[in-house]
Amino acid sequence: MNITSRATPYSPPDNVRRLFQSAVTGNLRAANDLKSNAPLDLATITTQVKAALDPTASVAAVYEGATSTGFRVLYRITPSASGADKGWSLDLDLTHFIDAQHAQDAMLMDLSLYDADVTTITTRPATPLGQISLRTRGSVFWVHNALWVKLGLTGTMPGSPSTSGGSSSGSSSGTTATTPSTRTMIPELPSRMVAFATAIDKLLAANAVAASAQLKPNTAVVSPSYKGPWGQPFSFRLVSATGTHALKPAEVADGSVVIPTKNGTAQGEYAFIGAKVGTTTVKLVVARADTLAVGTAQVNVQIVAPGSS
Task: Encode pLDDT of 175-184 as tens digits.
Answer: 333 333 344 4
Residues 6+ away with beta carbon under 8 Å from 11: none
pLDDT for position 80 = 80
Report whether 268 contacts 238 (CB < 8 A).
yes
Would you place residue 172 in the very low, low, confident or very high pLDDT band (cuts 50, 70, 90)? very low
Strands (DSSP E) found in 241-277: 250-252, 258-262, 269-274
Handedness of CA 41, 44, 46, 48 (dihedral sign): negative
DSSP assignment, residue 194? H
Contact 232, 259 (CB under 8 A): no
Is 285:294 a contact under the CB 8 Å cutoff?
yes
Ordered domains of the chain (ranges, CATH): 14-213 (no CATH), 225-304 (2.60.40.10)
Q: pLDDT tens digit string along 97-150?
A: 999 999 999 999 999 998 778 989 999 999 999 999 999 989 999 999 999 999
Q: Output the average pLDDT for the chain.
A: 88
Task: State yes or no: pLDDT of 251 exceeds 90.
Answer: yes
pLDDT at 84: 59
The whole-number pLDDT of residue 79 equals: 87
Lowest mean pLDDT among 114-118, 262-266, 284-288: 114-118
Q: Among 62-66, 176-180, 184-188, 202-206, which stretch is predicted with the lowest mean pLDDT? A: 176-180
- Of 193, 89, 209, 192, the C-alpha closest to 144 is 209
Is residue 190 within 8 Å of residue 221, measured between CB atoms?
no
| Alpha-carbon distances, residue 228 vs 191, 223, 282 (angstroms) | 60, 14, 15
Contact call for residues 147 and 132 (beta carbons, < 8 A): no
Q: What percent of the chain stands above pLDDT 90?
A: 71
Residue spans of alpha helices (H) in 133-253: 191-206
Report the length, in residues, of the chain.
309
Assess whether pLDDT exceeds 80 at residue 235.
yes
